[in-house]
């Protein structure tokens, strides 16, 4: 069972949050799960994963970024205007505010201040970059995560600037989704500072788990290898899952698990047990 919350950010945006394992609040560490691009907290494996951690004595928070395109209908992209205005910096600030809200007893009185954060795909990059502004995370896990945020060719950028939007097709919903140049501005302005993933990982100085499927066609495994090259090897684990892709053979709507995803859940649980106890 989960309990729902809404957190109003300092910019006046709403974060829709689900909390799992409320009986563990206070005495146990907290794990925060961070969805990626075109993702949301109720997609496929997220509720399953949250419940798995809760069943293993963690207080777990899942949430939607305010501009991920999901509105009050928590499984439909009904806010494409907000989606078009999203930026990486906005998501970093929102994850940081959620961390601080937990520590300030927004979800109830706590006595255990240890926090683990797990991000998937772009959410993993946001997780790592948040370390540059918020030092309250004790352990980081990233799944199928990008190593760079500037992923656009010169030609794409020129077309983007000329037309004012970058269009992409959501292959699952068949919706054409747009990104304004605000995202491109954010990348180009902050690529050497607050959006520099190499800088974040090299300065992390905290336990890190990097997990990636070797058949990932969305984010190639070479990006995980790049992340690992930036990291402190004495504090970092690299878990390669053979024969699986970007979502580890999991689907939305959720229809069941598989051995590869189960092994990833178990590995991640072990990582948090080792570093948050």
Residue 206 lies in a domain: yes
Contacts of 183 (CB under 8 A, 6+ apart): 86, 87, 88, 166
Using an 8 Å Cβ cutoff, are 74 and 16 in contact?
Answer: yes
Domain enclosing residue 128, as ranges: 2-149+190-276
Residue 161 lies in a domain: no
Residue 184 lies in a domain: no
Distance CA 195, CA 150 (A): 9
Distance CA 81, CA 64 (A): 16
Chain centroid to Cα 47, Å, comes to 14
What is the reported pTM? 0.98
List, for residues 177-217, the tens digit of each pLDDT value: 999 999 999 999 999 999 999 999 999 999 999 999 999 99
Residue 1 pLDDT greater than 90, yes or no: no
Domain count, the chain: 1
Using an 8 Å Cβ cutoff, are 15 and 7 in contact?
Answer: yes
Residue 175 lies in a domain: no
Using an 8 Å Cβ cutoff, are 249 and 243 in contact?
Answer: no
* Residue 39 binned pLDDT confidence (cut-offs 50, 70, 90): very high
List, for residues 87-136, the tens digit of each pLDDT value: 999 999 999 999 999 999 999 999 999 999 999 999 999 999 999 999 99
Residue 110 lies in a domain: yes
Residue 179 lies in a domain: no
Q: Specify the DSSP class assigned to residue 111.
A: S
Chain centroid to Cα 197, Å, comes to 14
Residue 221 lies in a domain: yes
Residue 166 lies in a domain: no
Q: What CATH number is attached to the domain comprising 210?
A: 3.40.50.1820
């Amino acid at each position: 069972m989960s309990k729902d919350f809404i957190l109003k950010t300092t910019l006046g945006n709403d974060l829709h949050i689900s909390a799992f394992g409320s009986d563990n609040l206070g005495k146990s560490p907290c794990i925060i799960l961070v969805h990626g691009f075109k993702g949301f907290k109720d997609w496929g494996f997220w509720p399953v994963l949250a419940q798995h951690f809760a069943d293993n004595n963690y207080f777990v928070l899942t949430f939607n970024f305010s501009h991920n395109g999901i509105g009050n209908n928590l499984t439909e992209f009904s806010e494409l205007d907000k989606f078009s205005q999203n930026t990486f910096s906005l998501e970093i600030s929102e994850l940081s505010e959620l961390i601080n809200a937990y520590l300030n007893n927004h979800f109830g009185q706590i006595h255990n201040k240890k926090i683990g954060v797990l991000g998937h795909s772009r959410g993993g990059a946001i997780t790592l970059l948040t370390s540059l502004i918020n030092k309250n995370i004790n352990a980081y896990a990233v799944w199928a995560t990008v190593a760079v945020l500037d992923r656009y060719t010169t030609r794409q950028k020129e077309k983007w600037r000329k037309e004012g939007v970058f269009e992409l097709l959501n292959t699952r919903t068949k919706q054409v989704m747009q990104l304004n140049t605000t995202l491109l501005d954010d990348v180009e302005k902050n690529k050497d500072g607050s959006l520099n993933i190499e800088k974040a990982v090299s300065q992390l100085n905290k336990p890190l788990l990097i997990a990636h499927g070797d058949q990932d066609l969305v984010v190639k495994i070479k990006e995980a290898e790049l992340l690992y090259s930036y990291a402190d090897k004495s504090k970092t684990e690299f878990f390669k899952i053979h024969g699986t892709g970007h979502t580890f053979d999991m689907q939305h709507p959720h229809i069941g698990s598989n051995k590869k995803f189960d092994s990833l859940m178990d590995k991640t649980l072990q990582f948090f047990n080792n570093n948050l106890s």
